[in-house]
Amino acid sequence: MSWRLFLIRHGMTEGNREKRYIGKTDEGVCDEGRRMLERRKAAGEYPEADLVFVSPMRRCLETAEVLYPGQEPVVVEEFRECDFGLFEGKNYRELTGNVHYQAWIDSGGTLPFPEGESRGAFQDRCCAGLVRMAGICAEWERAEEKKGTERRELRATCVVHGGTIMALLERFGTEGGDYYSYQCGSGQGYRCAAGGSPEEIGKGEIELSCIQPLVFSQDLS
């Protein structure tokens, strides 16, 4: 099976605006972030979706509500943001001089977050979520076939976190980008083609190809 996949990072939160590490903190989209989303939505710049998947965190649920009103999103627990441990809620200025933070920086961001998640564990979790999501997409396609609906490519959108997007694209992307090459701003994201046979998907093997950033004409900086 194959489908069109859109990965959209949630709208800006107060913590994002202050450049804090916001992982398990369940804060909502700030007023500025909501206005950014609404302007782009009004301009028709977000893709339409047959299915909408979201992280269970408030900032993602609120973003999906703005971008896809009237559509019931499917909550994927595995898409939660990384647990930043001792760095949670702090920004780089507040962490300057912290020996754990310096060690993490010196490692190129590969060390586990102290008292938090490792990148590997976080990535495994996110990827398990995408595999489960692929099963739901397959069920949707079978249901459409039974209804006799004219066959077309399924459009699925994930409203998730920056870290989730980076984890999925590094693991499943066919373009060779590394984790940090897929960073994106609040309300931004990527489009790609997703595919794999039922056997491959069952083994956790999904290909994400033709990866392109979403392009917006509205300057929201």
Which CATH homologous superfamily contains domain 2-213?
Phosphoglycerate mutase-like (3.40.50.1240)
Rounded CA gap, 220 and 99, in Å? 36
pTM above 0.75, yes or no: yes
Rounded CA gap, 51 and 91, in Å? 35
pLDDT at 126 (0 to 100): 98
Distance in angstroms between the alpha carbons of the first and the last residue of the chain: 38
Other Cβ atoms within 10 Å of 220 Cβ, number: 17
Rounded CA gap, 87 and 185, in Å? 20
| HEC readout, the chain | CEEEEEEEECCCEHHHHCCECCCCCCCCECHHHHHHHHHHHHCCCCCCCCEEEECCCHHHHHHHHHHCCCCCCEECHHHCCCCCHHHCCCEHHHHCCCHHHHHHHHCCCCCCCCCCCCHHHHHHHHHHHHHHHHHHHHHHHHHHHHCCCCCCCEEEEEEECHHHHHHHHHHHECCCCCHHHHCCCCCCEEEEEEECCHHHHHCCCCEEEEEEECCCCCCCC
pLDDT in tens, the chain (221 residues): 889 999 999 999 999 999 999 999 999 999 999 999 999 999 999 999 999 999 999 999 999 999 999 999 999 999 999 999 999 999 999 999 999 999 999 999 999 999 999 999 999 999 999 999 999 999 999 998 888 877 789 999 999 999 999 999 999 999 999 999 999 999 999 999 999 888 888 888 999 999 999 988 755 44
pLDDT at 218 (0 to 100): 53
Sorted by where each begins, the domain ranges of the chain are 2-213
Rounded CA gap, 133 and 114, in Å? 30
Rg of the chain taking only CA atoms, in angstroms: 18
Rounded CA gap, 89 and 25, in Å? 7
